[in-house]
Amino acid sequence: MITRTRTLLLVAVAITFLITLWLVVAHNCPSAGFALTSRARNLHRLKNRTVVPQASDFDSRITLDTLLQPGDDSNRWSTNRAARIQGQVIDVAYAGIEAANCFSPCRRDLHILIAKREGALKKEQVVLEVTQNLRPVYHSGATEQGLDWSEQNLKAQLVGKWCEFEGWLYFDVGHAEESENISPNDSSNWRATAWEVHPITKITVIR
């Protein structure tokens, strides 16, 4: 009986320690997030960039039309470049819990879905992301455009509007097989391309 009680106590202490450790790390999540390989760490660092791209970083060839161009686009662009694209905002919603944000439910990125027209199918939409590392910078609404980058306010101010977005290019390999360009005509596709503007560094409402 004593041995069983001691075992349960040790298990409880271990679980408490692990939960505490996770909470501390999640609250102070590094740019590499949680990752077991150097490749995963590098991908997470790309997602969590905080440097604002300069004029020389932008690839002027990239537009919504070129992102939507059919065909295997896995090597079409470079994650070292930035993009400035315009489109109709279809929806704004929280992304899932992910390793890049240390699996914290309080550190979820925001998906902004854009397309060429209202009512576009999922496979005609491009995913853009507002990251947790940049949201606090803009959350007060004290931006050049006067936009509050919280989920509630971005949804209210952007959905149904034609907007311009700036930010770094990112190829989301984890969702590549769910994109129309990589897996054409798959009924489960929920995006046009795995290429994203991620993170977004500037938002401008055009009309």
In a domain, 199, yes or no: yes
Domain with 192, as residue range(s), is 45-205
- Dihedral angle, C-alpha 173, 195, 193, 164, nearest 10 °: 150
Q: What is the pLDDT of residue 141?
A: 45
The values of phi and psi at residue 64, to 5°, are -60, -40
In a domain, 72, yes or no: yes
Q: What is the pLDDT of residue 196?
A: 98
DSSP conformation class of 174: G
Q: How far apart are CA 19 and CA 94, in angstroms?
A: 24
Which pLDDT tens digit goes with each residue over 5-42? 777 677 666 566 555 555 555 557 999 998 899 999 99
Which pLDDT tens digit goes with each residue over 101-159? 999 888 899 999 999 999 999 999 999 999 988 765 554 444 445 567 889 999 999 99
In a domain, 180, yes or no: yes
Q: Which two tokens stand for residue 186?
A: 């798959």
Q: How far apart are CA 43 and CA 40, in angstroms?
A: 5
Q: Which two tokens stand for residue 91?
A: 């929806």
Q: Which two tokens stand for residue 185?
A: 């005509």
Stronger pLDDT, 96 or 3, i.e. the higher one: 96
Q: How far apart are CA 47 and CA 98, in angstroms?
A: 11
User: What total number of domains does the chain contain?
Assistant: 1
In a domain, 35, yes or no: no
Amino acid residing at 198: H
Q: What is the pLDDT of residue 146?
A: 54
Q: What is the pLDDT of residue 56?
A: 97
In a domain, 61, yes or no: yes
CB 199 within 8 A of CB 152: no
Q: Which two tokens stand for residue 193?
A: 């391309």
Which pLDDT tens digit goes with each residue over 54-80? 999 999 999 999 999 999 999 999 999
pLDDT mean over 193-201: 97
Helix/strand/coil for 30 = coil
Which pLDDT tens digit goes with each residue over 85-113? 999 999 999 999 999 999 988 889 999 99
In a domain, 23, yes or no: no
Quick one: which of 27, 69, 203 has its CA closest to 128? 203
CATH number at residue 142: 2.40.50.140
Q: What is the pLDDT of residue 142?
A: 44
How many helices (DSSP H) and strands (DSSP E) are in the chain? Answer: 5, 5
Name the least confident of 95-99, 139-143, 164-168, 181-185.
Answer: 139-143
Quick one: which of 167, 154, 160 has its CA closest to 202? 167
Q: Which two tokens stand for residue 142?
A: 């004290």
In a domain, 145, yes or no: yes
Quick one: which of 172, 168, 170, 189 has its CA closest to 180? 189
Q: What is the pTM of this model?
A: 0.85
pLDDT bucket at 3, cuts 50 / 70 / 90: confident
